[in-house]
């Protein structure tokens, strides 16, 4: 394994357990038209900026809404749902451990800024501990392009080779690999076969052992 000095996290489904909330808000809209959010459709959407994901959903399902109208309605529902979002298993422990030992950490999220602000409400103190947070609006190209991870690395003063990325989305894994970074994948159920290019695949952050990567290990 590479010797890692900097860490970058995706947000949704990696640090914050928001994916069930996205599924709920999306399916509530699709139910009106008898459409379903399939595993395949989810895989094609997850990790993409909202405008792109909304277009994919509307084109795939054929629901009589514009992508813009779908995004507006879903985002309005998500604002209230995000207040209930909790950290994923092991997220608080790992990020606190690395911060206490001086490891720079960034978040690279496909969220738009207004969505990020809604998610911060659940854990403002935690979000304030990251050295940088990059959104889809801070770069020209969203995932699976490498831009967002390269910008995160730049903001925390790291070379791509020194960065380890944690990602749950297949497109995010693809983006991190394109950036020349090491990747630990945390796929949701049904997506395990789509992240085979990752350097390591885990069920959740609580399974991660920093030591083999050259990061400070936990004292057991």
- Cβ-proximal residues to 29 (8 Å cutoff; 6+ apart), any chain: 63, 65, 70, 73, 74
Cβ atoms of residues 46 and 171 within 8 Å: yes
Q: Is 138 a catalytic residue?
A: no
Cβ atoms of residues 166 and 9 within 8 Å: yes
DSSP letters, 142-194, are: -TTSSHHHHHHHHHTT--GGGEEEEE-SHHHHHHHHHTT-EEEE-PPTT-GGG
Q: Is 31 a catalytic residue?
A: no
Angle at alpha carbon of residue 74, lines to 115 and 15, rounded to 5°: 40
| Segment (H or E) for 107 | strand 104-108
Could you list the active site residues? 10, 12
């Amino acid at each position: 394994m590479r010797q890692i000095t900097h860490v970058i996290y995706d947000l949704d489904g990696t640090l914050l357990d928001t994916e069930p909330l996205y599924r709920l808000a999306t399916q509530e809209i699709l139910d009106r038209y008898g459409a379903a959010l399939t595993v395949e459709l989810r895989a094609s959407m997850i990790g993409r900026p909202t405008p792109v994901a909304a277009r994919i959903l509307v084109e795939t399902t054929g629901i009589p809404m514009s992508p813009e109208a779908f995004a507006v309605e879903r985002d309005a529902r998500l604002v209230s749902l995000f207040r209930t979002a909790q950290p994923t298993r092991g997220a608080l422990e790992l990020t606190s451990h690395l911060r206490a030992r001086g490891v720079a950490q960034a978040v690279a999220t496909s969220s738009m800024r207004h969505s990020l602000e809604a998610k911060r409400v659940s854990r403002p103190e935690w979000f304030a501990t990251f050295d940088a947070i990059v959104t889809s609006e801070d770069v020209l190209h969203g995932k699976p392009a490498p831009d967002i991870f390269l910008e995160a690395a730049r903001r925390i003063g790291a070379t791509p080779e020194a960065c380890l990325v944690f990602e749950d989305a297949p497109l995010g894994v693809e983006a991190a690999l394109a950036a020349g970074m090491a990747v630990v994948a945390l796929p949701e159920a049904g997506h395990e076969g789509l992240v085979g290019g990752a350097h390591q695949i885990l069920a959740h952050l609580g399974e991660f052992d920093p030591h083999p990567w050259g990061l400070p290990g936990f004292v057991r």
